[in-house]
Amino acid sequence: MNSNDTLQRFIFEQVPIRGEIVRLNATWQAVLERRDYPPPVRTLLGEIMVAAALLAATIKFSGSLIMQVQGDGPVPLLVVECTSDNTLRAVAHWDDDVRPGPLADMLGDGRLVITVNPSEGTERYQGIVELEGNSIAEALENYLTRSEQLDTRLWLAADDGQAAGMLLQRLPGSTDEDADAWPRAVHLGTTLTRDELLALPAPEIVHRLYHEEDIRLFESEPVSFRCSCSRDRVTLMLRMLGNEEIHDILNEQGSVKVDCEFCGQHYELDSIDAELLFTAPVPAEMASTHH
Ligand SMILES: [Zn+2]
């Protein structure tokens, strides 16, 4: 457990407002050490990674939340998966000619896809919206305010050392006694600088912003990098490619090689493994989680 990788929840005691701060350090480094992301791509990926962790923390679920930004610009894909156990993995694709610039220039005509895959029981959920806004934070605020009908504000930042973010959300309920509470909380949030967000421990940020408010700080939760790839999952994916495709690959290359995009783990199946792909039964737990 790394104390620099935390999810910190807090609530306002007198008004229905909740907050969360996510700080990623080792988790973020685990993503960065696997690919040499150009700085503008790195910033976007760090921001969306933090955003996914913040969003996952606002919903009660068991399973994984996947946030994808897909576009036709020089950064065509950003993907983050966050599980209900606070583990994260992330990857981005980019063209060599990517330059720092407005969000729309980097992503092009983009859309935001949010998928919640429950581990069991409830239905899979997927929301897809056009990407609108000048930042990942703004795009996600638009999405949340519209889809959840909850006023939400996000602050996101990432550099080569950390990725961090804060979320404020106004929950259903009366703020009659203190009608100014939400705009005040948001206004104080906007006084937080990017450097402070990246550098300060979460309790210090909460204190610095809201020491005059009645705040309850929950115990912080650890967050970590973990890739959910496995030989079983790769096997299942290859089975879906079909017998013919696999045999073509075997004939050309002698074995079937798959590298996990998220963690770089190398999987290789020789011709005997490949033969077993289509004769062995699908492991029960894999079959039940992939319809
Ligand atoms: Zn992996």
Q: Which CATH architecture has domain 231-289?
A: Alpha-Beta Complex (3.90)
- Tokens coding 214: 């009645």
Cα(262) to ligand 1 centroid in Å equals: 5
Each domain of the chain, given as residue ranges in start order, spans 6-225, 231-289
Closest by Cα among 54, 42, 193 to 106: 42
> Tens digits of per-residue pLDDT, 214-271?
999 999 999 999 998 999 888 888 888 888 888 899 899 999 999 999 999 999 988 8
Cα(78) to ligand 1 centroid in Å equals: 16
Q: Which of the four pLDDT bands, split at 50, 70 and 90, describes residue 120?
A: confident
Cα(242) to ligand 1 centroid in Å equals: 22
How would DSSP label each residue in 32-91?
HTTS---HHHHHHHHHHHHHHHHHHHHS--SEEEEEEEE-SSSS-EEEEEEETTSEEEEE
CATH class of 6-225: alpha beta
Closest by Cα among 22, 39, 44 to 134: 44
3-state secondary structure of 287: helix
Cα(117) to ligand 1 centroid in Å equals: 18
Q: Is the pLDDT of residue 86 over 60?
A: yes
Cα(225) to ligand 1 centroid in Å equals: 11
Q: What global pTM score does this model have? A: 0.89
> Tens digits of per-residue pLDDT, 167-186?
999 998 876 778 899 999 99
- Tokens coding 190: 């906007």
Cα(264) to ligand 1 centroid in Å equals: 6
Cα(89) to ligand 1 centroid in Å equals: 8
Question: What residues sit around ligand 1, an ion, with C-beta below 5 angstroms?
Answer: 227, 229, 260, 262-263, 265
